A and B are shown apart, each in its own frame.
Chain A
Amino acid sequence: MKILVAIDVHETRTKPAARAAIRFAQDVVQKTSGSFSIALVGNRINEAVAAVNGFGAEAIYLLDDPQLAGHLAQPTTTALVHLQRQHNFNLLVAPDSTTARDYLPRLAGVLSAGMCRGVCEAVTRPEGLCYKRNVFSGMVTRWERITSPLQIVSVEATAVGEPRKGTDAEAIPLKLNLPSDARTTFIETRRAHSQRPDLAVAECVVGAGRGIKSAEAMSKVEELTDKLGAALGATRAVVDAGWMPNEYQIGQTGKSIAPKLYLAIGISGAVQHVAGIRAARTIVAVNKDAEAPLLRVADIAVIGDLGKIVPRMLELL
């Protein structure tokens, strides 16, 4: 298999999930023989080369263009189509993220390729590679196979390990001169800068649920988060209520996490939420309801009022 790993670079940095995409490509190379290359996509991306080098890629292509700064689906697709026409890869891999969910299916549409999103694992079977995905709120596992000449997959980072060390590769800049497409204008990105670790890679995550009913209780939960050096996440109910921004949402329609410790505070454990926390090593439920569905997946539980439990934890830590 000739594989390309496409990695989006934001402000000179790659996201942690990029490492999982590289590991996934390494695993497929091991199973099928062949090789993989990397494409870095963005604007002013030279500094990001170091982050993806030393893993045994054949080459690192730099798709560097002012049009790619905002990671809009149209120019990103055009750039990757250009690279694909030159090299005819059999498999295109990208880390699953809102960026990939936006442009990767567009690329698949333009190239008439089959795509699987959020793949956890690949195995070789007589009929070819099979990709494992979680479907139906993570309640069912499905193995899928792509039959088109070009296969496209995005990788679920929480299911894949760290890349293995390998040789360095040469960075090859490509002259793209992408035309500007006046039909889509990037205006701005609004983000709340947080000192806390990134949800996607945090070793410890505190999850806030609707059981936290007051601003005071919420500030205690935030205090606990910071004391633990944890990332903060939330259920959809909390985000819908406007207590926290959308990027904090964990679950089927939000982010997946894989911390060593997940402290779920005032969270009932709806399947859509649990879909995002299955990869957590230890799940702790703090809930007043001994029947809450979360207790079916939790490892440790305290049944009681979070209004008393959280402040007491703060005293003890």
Chain B
Amino acid sequence: MKVLVTVKPVADHNTPASEWMALQKKERANVNFIPNEFDLIAVEQALRLRDSGADDICLVSVTTEEHLPHLRTALAMGADRGIVVDPGQRHLDWHQIAVALKFVVEKEKPDIVLMGKQATDDDACQVASMLAGMLDWPQATFVSRMDVAPAGDQVTVERETDDGIDVLRVTLPAVISCDLRLNEPRYPTLPNLMRSRKIPLEVYQYSQLPVPDEPNVEVDSYELPLGRNGVITYAADADELVAILKERKLID
């Protein structure tokens, strides 16, 4: 079974908003990158598929060269190889990223594509379903449990929804997006970290692929959200709290 796992490097969530905005505007910024947390869950899930016959686990990232170390961290969890699509100086939108991933899928012909539910930097939550639509493949998003049928041709999944859990069965090949409670990603071992440095990465230039030149979504501008008023009333105890809530007519 061939498994393709998508990995996006994102800014660490301790990055101050101002630094993150500078980074987006391609200004000088002091930002620590990490692989998107949901993507590490996808990598872990791929590794757990080894028992179900996964013998080729390939990671793919649409990202610039400077972020290759983050792909290597994910590789060191135990994947076999990696592919990079380098956008160069362009800022790609989600549609362009999905088309680039589609190119890799069509070339690699995996049985399953494991992705994260959302990238925690711009919270788009759309590349997985978009890719599935472009490929006309079945999809299961926000998956918190996944079982491969013994024949290896179908997976039964539980997906987290606003109302509870939906259970679906999808026939492979399919796109699966992983939610937080699917698994606990392992930490890379030192030997694997060493080994991952030697894994060759296949690199494509975005500009040389049959992909759209222009994005469908452009960024107009950035702002810092209005803060909340910041004035806080301290209640000494439960009695005073209840009195304040009643006085402000927040409770009867």
Name A residues whose Cβ lies closer than 8 Å to a Cβ of B: 10, 15, 70, 72-74, 77, 97-99, 101-110, 112-118, 125, 127, 130, 133-148, 181-192, 200, 204, 228, 236, 239-240, 245-247, 252-253, 255, 260-261, 271-272, 278, 282-284, 286, 295-304, 308-310, 312-313, 316-317
Contact = CB atoms under 8 A, between A and B. Distances in A.
Contact of A105 (B11, B128, B218, B236): B128
A191 B225 contact: no
B55 to A, nearest CB: 24
Interface of B is mostly: mixed
16 contacts: A73-B139, A74-B138, A97-B162, A99-B162, A107-B133, A114-B216, A141-B223, A145-B219, A145-B220, A187-B167, A191-B163, A192-B164, A261-B251, A299-B229, A301-B234, A302-B237
Contacts of B144: 246
Interface string B7-18: 000010101010
A114 B217 CA distance: 6
Given A136-B123, A147-B216, A310-B238, 19 more contacts: A98-B141, A99-B161, A99-B162, A101-B125, A101-B129, A105-B126, A109-B129, A110-B134, A127-B220, A143-B221, A144-B218, A183-B171, A189-B161, A282-B248, A301-B233, A308-B238, A309-B237, A313-B242, A316-B238
Contact of B160 (A98, A137, A188): A98
Interface stretch (B43-51, B92-100, B193-201): B92-100
B215 A247 contact: no
A187 B156 contact: yes
Contact of B168 (A107, A185, A313): A185
B203 interface: no
Interface residues of B, number: 84
B165 interface: yes
Interface string B114-138: 0001101111111111111110101
Contacts of A117: 123-126
B217 A144 contact: yes
A187 B158 CA distance: 10
Contact of B250 (A118, A135, A182, A282): A282
A127 B164 CA distance: 41
A260 B224 CA distance: 24
Given A143-B223, A145-B218, A317-B251, A105 B133 contact: yes
Contacts of A282: 248, 250
B131 A109 contact: yes
A98 B161 contact: yes
Contacts of B225: 134, 138-141, 278
Nearest to B20: A136
A117 to B, nearest CB: 6
Of listed A139, A260, A282, residue having the most chain B CB within 10 A: A139
B224 A140 contact: yes
A72 B168 contact: yes
B217 A115 contact: yes
A130 B128 CA distance: 24
Contact of A114 (B93, B140, B179): B93
A74 B170 CA distance: 11
B244 interface: yes
